[in-house]
Amino acid sequence: MPGPADAPLDAPGLGDADLPPALAAAIRRSTHPRLLGTAFLAQCSPRIRRFWDYWNARRGGRAMPSRRDIDPTEIPDLLPYIVLTDVLAEPPFLRYRLVGTKQVAVRGRDPTGQPVRGNYIGHHLGDTEDEVLLNYRIVIEGRIAVYDANPILGPQDAGSSLLQRPVRERGTLLLPLSSDGENVDVVFCCADIETPA
């Protein structure tokens, strides 16, 4: 499983000079399995690759697309796996605007309109909030892709014991959106989630 040494600051186009010093230091201290930049493309699932390709095409020659560049009718197969998170100027700072149905399933409830704190994937397992918030911080301050490679099992489905199946998140890609081309105001996420037969 990838860790910080796999590519946070030595990936193509990423170096200490490319990230704010405090952010670079936080990444170096972290042991969370994440990849920055495009290093994830060598190992991601076809779903994550399709999400990346869509985002990349929508940005054209810019650093990142805006929210208005994203057309849900162009990616209906990805919508259940997507989350849009608003970046706010004051607390709670990060709030879920839209949460796809597969994202809801892996959490066991719908966090739409709620802050990221206490509502992120893995919250039910006690996964560390600091690492989740660092992923967002990297996207917002670094304006780069973050691939979180930490697989997570979701809560069991409701119903009889014969119908209960684990929901598994196998990796999440977080990408920046910006209405002014400079400041990230929405984080666009896609998680590769499966419900085994």
pLDDT per residue of the chain (197 residues) written in tens, 0 to 9:
333 333 333 343 344 447 888 988 888 888 778 888 888 898 888 999 999 999 999 998 899 999 999 998 999 999 999 999 999 999 889 999 999 988 887 777 899 999 998 877 765 455 577 888 899 999 999 999 999 876 665 555 554 333 344 556 678 899 999 999 999 999 999 988 776 55
CATH number, domain 36-194, options 3.40.309.10, 3.30.450.20, 3.60.15.10, 3.40.50.10860: 3.30.450.20
Question: Which of the 8 DSSP states describes residue 84?
Answer: E
Q: Are strands 94-99 and 146-148 parallel, antiparallel or unpaired?
A: unpaired
Kindly report, residue by residue over 35-68, the tens digit of the pLDDT.
888 888 988 889 999 999 999 999 988 999 999 9
Per-residue pLDDT at 164? 42
Domains of the chain, residue spans: 36-194
CA atoms within 13 A of residue 129's CA, in its CB half-sphere: 8
Distance between CA atoms of 184 and 64, rounded to whole angstroms? 9
DSSP string for 3-34? -GGGSTTTSTT--GGGS-HHHHHHHHH--S-E
Write the burial class of residue 24 (CB in 10 Å: 0-12 exposed, 13-18 middle, 19+ buried). buried
Distance between CA atoms of 144 and 140, rounded to whole angstroms? 8
